[in-house]
Homo-oligomer: A and B are copies of this chain.
Amino acid sequence: MQRIVVLAGGIGGARFLRGLRSAVPDAEITVVGNTGDDIHLFGLKVCPDLDTVMYTLGGGIHEEQGWGRADETFAVKEELAAYGVGPEWFGLGDRDFATHIVRTQMISAGYPLSAVTEALCARWQPGVRLLPMTDDRVETHVLIDDPDAGDAGRDEDGGDGTAGRKAVHFQEYWVRLRASVDAHAVVPVGADAAKPAPGVLEAVAAADTILFPPSNPVVSVGTILAVPGIREAIADAGVPVVGLSPIVGNAPVRGMADKVLAAVGVETTAAAVAAHYGSGLLDGWLVDTADADTVGAVEDAGIRCRAVPLLMRDEETTAEMARQALALAEEVRA
């Protein structure tokens, strides 16, 4: 049986996984999920990326939106607003709330997030093994200009680049601000002290193939790779590591990846993202046919590259992307 490990963020990762599962229904797929975008809201632990994967593969996702539950209602959110309790900018529906209530109750009872995720998946039966990247708390913060600091504050930059700036939680940057302001830095707070969740390193070591889906290379896959031990385990696994570009025609397929790529000094091109991962980590890279002219540059950087259609229009086109990624992995292996 083919064993595949996938590092996944939210919507893009989840949709790719659905295609992958369809392409290789007999494969044993382990998903290492990003938890850097986890957030405590209303006293509840919310894990947006894990839930998006779980709901998408479990048949509970809001298809058009890409996140949250189908047939959702918002009575709890309305009531919280009536109490004047925010934030109002994060859209938690009633069905979704139940997931966070169960999770928080289990966490409070002492279960690690990995055990909680397994328990939630017992209901959703996603057809993959879903692991959080870590059971420890990691929170991705984004450094932005502080509109309250005033010009004086910005002028008095002490040299560390933080004067006149403030760090906000990734969700505040992404959801409330819709990435409308520049990100000066992206910091996975706590990552340096985090340990990979039980099963993560074992799955990587046992994998036949490792895939990076077209998830955000900074705040999704990048955060997972920031947990000490995971990047090293992948580089040392001795099996093909193949990624799919989330950038098509110099723009993110979805989301606002360009904003956070700029924060880490990476151009918004398929080739630049491949170079950002680097040939020490990545063996193969799929770019969209629109970016066929970059194949040579990627290969010159030591990463085998193919141009194939990378728009996940439906499950079948996505399954074909997965087949192309696995085919490239076989080329690498050979």
Residues of A within 8 A of B (CB): 42-44, 72-73, 75-80, 82-85, 93-95, 97-99, 101-102, 104-105, 108, 119-120, 122-123
Q: Which residues of B contact A122 (CB under 8 A)?
A: 84
28 A-B residue pairings within 8 Å (CB atoms): A42-B101, A42-B105, A43-B101, A43-B104, A43-B105, A44-B101, A72-B75, A73-B75, A73-B94, A75-B93, A75-B95, A76-B76, A76-B95, A76-B98, A77-B98, A78-B95, A79-B94, A79-B98, A79-B99, A80-B102, A82-B98, A82-B123, A83-B98, A83-B119, A85-B102, A85-B105, A94-B94, A97-B101
Query: How many copies of this chain does the complex contain?
Result: 2
Q: Is chain A's binding surface mostly helix, strand, loop or mixed?
A: helix
User: Given the complex of chains A and B, what is the CA–CA distance between A147 and B108 in angstroms?
Assistant: 31
Q: Which of A77, A93, A101 has the most CB of B within 10 A?
A: A101
Residue of B75, B76, B93, B98 near A80 (CB, 8 A) is B98
Are B75 and A98 in contact (CB-based, < 8 A)? yes
Q: Which residues of B contact A85 (CB under 8 A)?
A: 102, 105
Nearest-neighbour CB distance to chain B for A143, whole angstroms, equals 27
Q: Which residues of B contact A104 (CB under 8 A)?
A: 43
Q: Which residues of B contact A78 (CB under 8 A)?
A: 95, 98
User: Given the complex of chains A and B, what is the CA–CA distance between A1 and B175 in angstroms?
Assistant: 51
Q: Using CB atoms, name the residue of chain B closest to A82.
A: B123
User: Given the complex of chains A and B, what is the CA–CA distance between A156 and B76 in angstroms?
Assistant: 50
Q: Which residues of B contact A75 (CB under 8 A)?
A: 72-73, 75, 93-95, 98
Are B102 and A83 in contact (CB-based, < 8 A)? yes
User: Given the complex of chains A and B, what is the CA–CA distance between A226 and B123 in angstroms?
Assistant: 44
Q: Which 8 A-B pairs have the closest CB atoms?
A: A79-B98, A43-B105, A75-B94, A76-B98, A94-B94, A79-B95, A80-B98, A83-B102
Q: Which residues of B contact A94 (CB under 8 A)?
A: 73, 75-76, 79, 94, 97
Nearest-neighbour CB distance to chain B for A123, whole angstroms, equals 5
Q: Using CB atoms, name the residue of chain B closest to A98.
A: B79
User: Given the complex of chains A and B, what is the CA–CA distance between A43 and B109 in angstroms?
Assistant: 9
Q: Which residues of B contact A93 (CB under 8 A)?
A: 75
Q: Which residues of B contact A80 (CB under 8 A)?
A: 98, 101-102
